[in-house]
Amino acid sequence: MGNSLIEATSQGWSLVLTYVPNLFGAVILLIVG
């Protein structure tokens, strides 16, 4: 029961770690530019 939840959570965290730096980069570019 918990395996699918753990897998979904790890996938969600991988997505977060992938997109968050991009969002920060975009915000920094907007502020600096």
pLDDT of 3? 85
- Domain region containing 26: 1-33
- Measured between alpha carbons, how far is 12 from 20 in angstroms, rounded to an integer? 12
Per-residue DSSP letters for 1-33? Answer: -HHHHHHHHHHHHHHHHHHHHHHHHHHHHHHH-
pTM: 0.51
Tokens 């770690």 identify what position?
17
Mean pLDDT by 10 residues, the chain (33 residues): 85 93 96 94
Tokens of 33: 């530019």
Tally of domains within the chain: 1
Closest by CA to 18, choosing from 28, 29, 10, 8, is: 10
